[in-house]
Structure 1
């Protein structure tokens, strides 16, 4: 059976790394390239983090492309230290001083367009960060979305609960205009793992400890980069910051990747039009679900609602049994 072709667009922090490892471990997936975007950290750090993951998993043949360093409209984004200043818990051990030489010269957006044009209707795109590169690809090639097979996104929300603002999820808040453009103009089949979906299906800290204590290079990297990270602290996650969903371990971007790898991981979707709000100090960046067809939009997306946690746990476990011979 032919492998599913994939482009990963990422702002590589710790959960992105986990999602990338999940795709690397999936026997039915061929990664054509990884495109980098600002978000969890500056885009140069993102590039280095991706290279570090590929090196540990012995998959350095996969090309990595540098993309957007700022949002579509520009302006200053709020600093983010959710995964440390470098996105990897500020654990510098293992960084490659020659990393710039290993990044492709082609811009990420140009590469994205080229790879999809070369494999029309065969490539799926998984977006794990702000959607700036995707919006730019659309503006350069208005036919780009219809040449895709499917789009999977980790971002947005479905209940108006935010994690960086009152109503906004991080990836969409970092570039609301790009999120708006993508969800208005990408008419390919689109699947969204929202912040609330991920949080509702969090895993136990006991499972997390088993996961990172596997005796493999990938697991050792995850143990290292989570060791000083607030987001992977059991004690911190049990405080009032987790008032909505209760304590537990969440690898946000992995939920979108798992849905791409195995559709059966998602057991229920809400299928409806959506729109990203661009106005206001409270709701800017919020994704609204239109379940009454008030917007009169023809395009409907699949918003993930329920998850098979046994299948998801298995994909996470397999992702850290690397390097693998695919």
Structure 2
């Protein structure tokens, strides 16, 4: 039987959206969530993606310092994808360091504050110590999670709790290539390994659900209403997001990793439509490497992908109204009533 207390590993390549999601997770430790659940973040694991793994690890520590949560352990993970890239990713949306290189960060000491254990080993150890109780929120490329599968196999997979992934696409819309979403394209083999070996369907938030959804949050509201909060975390994210988004002419504010986190914490309020599929990841297509491919023929006598059981629950539509409340509460906006969602 599922335990009410859920332990969470937050696996991330910290840019600004990961930072919002991490802050949301840590704030949620104070709550009794729907269904009587409580959560505790037992590990932050870093991975290559928005920035290199060294900067991603430093950003995790910087967020913890702004939130006065230096008690949460941080584990540095994989610096490279499973298969070396044959293409060059030069357009760094989050800058070189993940926070758009704005500088003036909280002082951190990685030598003392980062755990000596590798993130992959920490994932396995925690699953073994708390079988069935540890949920994995995978907000970057799936390199750490896939390597844990490769190293430990069934000994890991049989002990994990839920798996929650921000990544992939369902309509072929890409954001780093014309057909692939960033997290999957930064390590397609890791995405393939992860999906192919799951015992239970992962909850997947694809790129299109984020960009095509209506969440009613403008960049003006984000920077000038929520951004008016005097808190070190909000002030750090203000500087990074203002420098990233204003020069590029953004009008809407979208934060994909925090959308996944909100769906994990408040599924009844956030998820309007989800559907089970068997999903695979294209590894060799000239134009489609990294694209998530759904088996729409599941249930017919002849299936497109060998009639395999569902391995994903794809979120097709999210509810924007509660998300604005959740992100306002995450950012310490006064008089935000999060209790209405609990």
TM-score, normalised relative to structure 2:
0.87
After alignment, is 133-142 or 193-202 more displaced? 193-202
2:183 corresponding residue in structure 1 = 171
After alignment, is 198-207 or 134-143 more displaced? 198-207
1:65 corresponding residue in structure 2 = 75
Q: Larger relative CO (CA 8 A, sep 6+): 1 or 2?
A: 1
Alignment of 1:78-117 (within 5 A): 78-96=89-107, 98-117=109-128
Report if aligned partners of 2:65, 2:106 keep a CA contact under 8 Å in 1: no
1:58-98, CA deviations, whole angstroms, 9 ceiling, x for partnerless residues? 11100000110000112365234101110001022124352
1:74 corresponding residue in structure 2 = 84
1:182 corresponding residue in structure 2 = 194
2:35 corresponding residue in structure 1 = none
1:299 corresponding residue in structure 2 = 310
Report if aligned partners of 1:149, 1:189 keep a CA contact under 8 Å in 2: no
- 1:207 matches 2:221: yes
CA distance in 2, matches of 1:11, 1:199: 20
Aligned residue pairs total: 311
Deviation at 1:263, TM superposition (A): 1.0
CA distance in 2, matches of 1:80, 1:71: 18
1:159-217, CA deviations, whole angstroms, 9 ceiling, x for partnerless residues? 00100101000000000000011011122331011110111225322432322222222
Matched position secondary structure for 1:79: coil
Report if aligned partners of 1:89, 1:227 keep a CA contact under 8 Å in 2: no
2:319 corresponding residue in structure 1 = 308
CA distance in 2, matches of 1:48, 1:96: 10
CA distance in 2, matches of 1:235, 1:166: 20
Matched position secondary structure for 1:70: coil
1:137 corresponding residue in structure 2 = 148
2:174 corresponding residue in structure 1 = 162
1:278 aligns with one of 280, 283, 297: 283
After alignment, is 53-62 or 140-149 more displaced? 140-149
Matched position secondary structure for 1:182: helix
Alignment of 1:117-128 (within 5 A): 117-128=128-139
2:234 corresponding residue in structure 1 = 219
- 1:253 matches 2:257: yes
Matched position secondary structure for 1:8: strand
1:42 corresponding residue in structure 2 = 52
Report if aligned partners of 1:273, 1:297 keep a CA contact under 8 Å in 2: yes
CA distance in 2, matches of 1:54, 1:2: 26
For structure 2, the residue ranges without an aligned partner over 5 or more in a row are 32-37, 299-303, 334-342
1:6 corresponding residue in structure 2 = 8
1:274-308, CA deviations, whole angstroms, 9 ceiling, x for partnerless residues? 11100123100000111212211113311001111
